[in-house]
Chain A
Amino acid sequence: MPFIPHTEADTDAMLDTIGVAGIDDLFEEIPGELRLGALEGIPGALTESEVGRLMRRRAARDEMALNFLGAGAYEHHIPAAVWELATRGEFYSAYTPYQAEASQGTLQVIYEYQTMMASLTGLDVSNASHYDGASALAEAVLMAVRCNRRSKSRRVLVPRALHPHYRAVLETITSTQGIDLVDLPYDPSGGQTDTGALGDHAGEDITAVVISQPNVFGVLEPVDEMTDWAADNGALAVGVVNPVALGLLKPPGEWGREGASIACGEGQPLGVPLSSGGPYFGFLTCRQALVRQLPGRLVGRTVDVDGKPGFTLTLQAREQHIRRSRATSNICTNQGLMVTAATIYMSLLGPEGLRRVAARCHARTAALAAGAQSVGGVSVAFASPRFHELALRLPAPAKEVLGRLRAQGILGGVDLGSWYPELGDAVLVCATETKTGQDIHRYVEALRGAIGGIGDGP
């Protein structure tokens, strides 16, 4: 049997020690009418070689030559060392570091991670991570509601230009908590959040304002103005940021006069492969004063009985295994393995490397924008500064154009039609540092061909 080491002699000896005749006797406390005869509908076992053949065939079916999709998951170069190290058995198959003395490796990695993320976001404290960016935002909003005791409304302003999936997750997780999510529209020509609409809420009791940098269109938001508005109106500013962009962009802790109070986002760009959407990790950082309301695991540095430095999980009384129904969150897990990968990634890139990767992404997207606009009828939807993504308006049905690009092995963008019908035929495209000038040229020419082809009929 796979992965079960017992020989017949072992089993017999063990049954003998227990004092029963057969394994079945060990299940005697389960009422007979509940006992299953045999499992139905499960296929027979495959050897590793057989399952390998099956999986290789399936993986190969989904391979695409060239990917220009972003929208919350980004293709970056991942140094080979990152996953060579992260999948070492000592990281990969370790448990949560509750036994600190036997988990100093994982604990130190998390402490280093917390240091890096706090600094990258310009805030004081980072937790040990959450499931993904969207769920981290939900936790950040719940945290903001707990922290802002002056506000009684539980009303949170959420830009329409926040990734719609993030908005949906926020809705699912906060809907049972009596939290009122209020839309902030975006400017139809610039694509950034309409600060005029923000002004309409002046004088109201607003608990928190979500600020996405960049927003779903890749457009850079007026973060200073939005953060100051929040401060002036008694609301907490919650930043949702792309961590690679922070190699280049002003971090949430430095937005406006006082900075955002809480920052969160998707950690995937930091060394985690696209892998169909997960496992990724969400980061969550905050000001020191809010640390007791920060959900999730935290690692602290302390000393052992001999005075030697060491690391341990700390402030655990906030968590569900102690606080039970009064915990800051029901969440138990952090994405430890992904955090290990991200910490190694950030170590290999360093401040200069991360800045250069961010700058290269930005330059590639600028080249893509210029090229795409050379195609007749194609225009850039929003004329505002952007990071590494942009919305393109197409002169032909987006679905059809994308299908034609796909036939050439190119994932040519995310159709924005279902998320933002008001944009008409528009696609969201992304070029990271992994795209060469030649790749971009190939994309532009394929786009030209696809649009021309539709004009000419099938």
Chain B
Amino acid sequence: MSEPLVFELGRSGRLAGAQVPEAGRAVDLPPDMLRDSRPQLPEVSELDAVRHYTRLSQRNFSIDTQFYPLGSCTMKYNPRGCNTYAMLPGFLQRHPLAPEDVSQGFLACMYELQRMLCRVTGMTAFSLTPMAGAQGELSGVAMIRAYHLDRGDTERTEILVPDAAHGTNPATAVKCGFTVRELPTAADGDLDFEALRRLAGPRTAGIMLTNPSTLGLFERRIREVQEIIHGAGGLLYYDGANLNAILGKVLPGDMGFDVIHINLHKTFSTPHGGGGPGSGAVGVGERLAPFLPTPFVGIGPDGYRWVDAADHPKSIGRLSAFMGNAGVLLRAYIYMRMLGRRGMERVADHAVLNANYVMVRLAAAGFDLAYPERRACHEFVVTLKRQAREYGLTAINLAKALLDREFHAPTTYFPLLVPECLLIEPTETESKETLDRFVDAMAEILAEAQVDPERCRQAPVKMPVRRLDEVRAARKPDLRYRP
């Protein structure tokens, strides 16, 4: 059954009466400033709308309903308490420009969050204003740029990015005015150090690294990377996408990183919301502290206060109209307080335990690991190159067959350098039973594909729609409803 568009449910003149003010007097504005056309908004009753959006919600997978072994996304449970307490009226109704003397409750949470993030990363200062990972990256790379320029070093025009990196890394470096030099990955999954030594030099502004990498591997020679890059006069950027794997185990600051962003919607479990909001809080060591984006929270004689551009003249500036995704930050704060110190130390333990368990069981079930000799961090890569060639079980076919078994698919075709790959990240909040069911489903699909290859090519068959014609969608884009 398809669900009609909300526009198709409407009838001209129908109104959700309880939500609409009485019609007032005619508006005293010049007629040439007013709208003649009626916007194409639905005309439905409140019940129509509630049923429609409830039904649409039921056409989604979500963490609350399914397991998401989605590599590089850290789809852990989003505790309901975080939502409830972030949505207390005092927080929801607080205006972003409310003065500090009537904002001490909120500011206290933000200040403590900044401090806790410093503690779990080994950085000295944090700004919470970036509104997603990519904006955290943007502010981090902009700070690297500002740092070099501030020292009068104008020759540093290049950022090094591993070929396995998330696409936002090179895109961000370019947006900050840099040229990207791509670093190859060695056969064992670590960086290619020969290439690193060759590329690092007087033009190097910095390197962007995820550690553990997007291959789920810990870069063992990270201190050597630091020596090479710092030795060349560049800085080290830590993409915190995979922080969950090392939370409480290693501090990025101790690895030699100068700047870090954290995806709070991953490690600190704020909801993904079907594609956002996220939060990409950015932290720095001493060297980059003067360039931190504003505003952030400081302490003054009268309590917590905003540190703005006026107090922080070398700042790279403002990234959002106000102070970022405050409601997301509150959820992360509440989550961190509920975990506490011991809880945080256990996150990486169990995320890594779950990943290695699933990895060993899948290998035993006949799946090929991309890096069989390596220990998994919180995620690992399976390659279906052999199965794709032998009986057409490609990554996409397996992904779709999983949907029919009520599991969200792992990340597919990323990192780009492993053919027909699945990136699998179970997270620490999943139980052994769920992981076992997942492995069983994977094994079942593998067995089925060998005897009946066509079946997984046809999957999914139990979802609200089957495979969609993406070519048609892109060739003749239908991006809005026209009656």
Contacts and interface: CB of A to CB of B under 8 A. Distances in A.
Interface string B63-92: 111101010010111110101111111111
A99 B401 CA distance: 12
Interface string A47-64: 110011011111111111
9 contacts: A39-B345, A59-B106, A92-B64, A92-B78, A95-B62, A95-B63, A301-B473, A301-B481, A332-B133
Contact of A119 (B39, B326, B342, B432): B39
B27 interface: yes
B24 A104 contact: no
Given A34-B223, A276-B95, A337-B274, 19 more contacts: A17-B361, A41-B115, A42-B336, A43-B340, A59-B91, A64-B102, A79-B16, A93-B78, A101-B463, A116-B40, A169-B317, A249-B35, A250-B36, A275-B92, A276-B96, A333-B131, A335-B273, A340-B273, A406-B99
Closest 5 CB pairs of A and B: A277-B322, A45-B340, A89-B64, A337-B273, A59-B90
Interface stretch (B135-143, B194-202, B230-238, B282-290): B135-143
A43 B479 CA distance: 49
A12 to B, nearest CB: 11
- Could you say which interface size class chain B belongs to? 35 or more
Interface string B149-181: 000000000000000001110111111110010
B403 A99 contact: yes
Nearest to A326: B174
Contact of A363 (B25, B323, B463): B25
B418 interface: no
A277 B320 contact: yes
Contacts of B246: 30
A99 B408 contact: yes
A172 B142 contact: yes
A314 B105 CA distance: 43
Contacts of B90: 58-63
Interface string A306-332: 101111101101011111111101111
A275 B327 contact: yes
Nearest to B107: A62
B97 A79 contact: no
A116 B41 CA distance: 6
Contacts of A177: 175, 177
A381 interface: no
Contact of A69 (B98, B273, B338, B346): B98
B250 to A, nearest CB: 5
Contacts of A356: 20-24
A359 interface: yes
Interface stretch (A2-10, A182-190, A198-206, A445-453): A2-10
Contact of B480 (A6, A115, A305, A321): A115
Nearest to A301: B478
Contacts of A300: 473-474, 477-479
A333 B39 contact: no
B273 A94 contact: yes
Contacts, number: 679
Contact of B327 (A58, A279, A323): A279
Interface string B30-47: 101111111111111010
Contact of A362 (B29, B321, B328): B29
Given A31-B220, A77-B19, A291-B479, A350 B134 contact: no
Contacts of A89: 62-65
Contacts of B375: 26, 28-29
Interface in A336-352: 336-338, 340, 343-344, 346-352
B39 A176 contact: no
A279 B91 CA distance: 12
Interface stretch (B352-360, B385-393, B441-449): B352-360
Contacts of A57: 105
A315 B473 CA distance: 8
A27 B370 CA distance: 19
Nearest to B138: A330
Contacts of B477: 291, 298, 300, 314-315
A115 B6 CA distance: 11
A93 B67 CA distance: 11
B467 to A, nearest CB: 5
A366 interface: yes
Given A51-B337, A67-B93, A112-B481, A171 B317 contact: yes
A349 B43 CA distance: 8
A39 B92 contact: no
Given A2-B338, A13-B432, A350 B42 contact: yes
A28 B16 CA distance: 61
